[in-house]
A = this chain, B = another copy of it.
Amino acid sequence: MKKYHVAVVGATGAVGQRILQQLTKRNFPIETITFLASKRSAGKEIQFSGQTYVIKEAVPEAFDGVDFAFFSAGGSVSKALAPEAAARGAIVIDNTSAFRMDPEVPLVVPEVNRHDLKQHNGIIANPNCSTIQMVCVLEPLRKAFGLKKVIVSTYQAVSGAGAIAIDELKKQSNHFENRSDISADILPVRSGEKHYPIAFNAIPQIDVFTDNGYTYEEMKMINETKKIMHMPELKVAATCVRLPVVAGHSESVYVETESEGVTIEQIRNILTEAEGVTVMDRPEDAVYPMPLFAEGEDDVFVGRIRHDIDDPSNLHLWIVADNLLKGAALNSIQIAEAIIEDGIR
């Protein structure tokens, strides 16, 4: 079996760490691995598969000879270096939002639009975490009976804001009694002027606001869903909310479908057969997905499947997945695996 030279840019971050775990767990065919970071982090040591590696500075020449470059070091790093890596023959799998809406860059969830990988020009974008888990469930429904509109409200974990946000929730959680006076430095947006406690709270802002009153996170869900599913006509409405949950994004999804007379049992069967999806939907036994139990799991979990009482062709779904795994690291590795399997590299 052919083996590859893999580069990881941003290996010490929350997503980067999960990428290393997944490379090992999934036995990715690595011949050589190179760890790259900004000048500031270059020279530091990192452990991988029982060996110690020295992190090198991410300069364009560092990508010479690299087959797969996984980027998760922020949008500006990707913007500067991903084209350089691609020009040197690497296939970049980028976890940032830098290239997601670039018409020349495939935005891929292998279970949904694996075929788009063939059109790559050296860069493949990994979608936003909250988008990935949703489209994994929407795609089999689209295939079965068509979709018209999606209205989603999210319940997102702090791990999506990095290891520092996890630390902040940990500290704040010890202040149950004086919770309204908890100090905060990270959320909703680290570089912003105002910070709010996340412990014992819900913050209806993820990422910064755009001019239309939506946050970037909401616009990502709207735009990326249409691109991945090749449905520019699909209506998507989104509200994104951060919760005091460590890992695991949850989504209350309302779907207007073209179905008529489809039973809940048929929908459960369609989703049970869908790749990467696990149905957890036995309300009579209090069985449904929850983020606390999705942490560390590969699959996207779906439950609370119901018809709208007034409009029976519309459905309610409750979708949960580990945002750092299927929402980020795992999907990136699956993209690389698909490229190998399909002979694209």
Contacts and interface: CB of A to CB of B under 8 A. Distances in A.
A193 B286 CA distance: 9
A192 interface: yes
Contacts of A318: 204, 239
A264 interface: yes
A11 to B, nearest CB: 24
Contacts of A4: none
A235 to B, nearest CB: 4
A155 B293 CA distance: 19
Interface residues of A, number: 65
A63 to B, nearest CB: 38
Given A151-B254, A197-B292, A292-B196, A204 B174 contact: no
Nearest to A196: B290
B286 A179 contact: no
A18 interface: no
Contacts of A199: 173
Interface string A280-301: 0001111011111101000000
Contact of A264 (B213, B250, B304, B306): B213
Interface in A178-220: 179-180, 188-189, 192-194, 196-197, 199-205, 209, 212-214
Contact of A245 (B151, B202, B295): B202
Contacts of A310: 149, 235-237
Contact of A170 (B176, B212, B244, B252): B176
Given A173-B173, A176-B170, A179-B246, A304 B239 contact: yes
A219 to B, nearest CB: 9
A10 interface: no
A1 interface: no
Nearest to A211: B284
Interface of A: 149, 151, 153, 155, 169-170, 173-174, 176, 179-180, 188-189, 192-194, 196-197, 199-205, 209, 212-214, 222, 235-237, 239, 241, 243-246, 250, 252, 254, 264, 283-286, 288-293, 295, 303-306, 308-311, 314, 316, 318
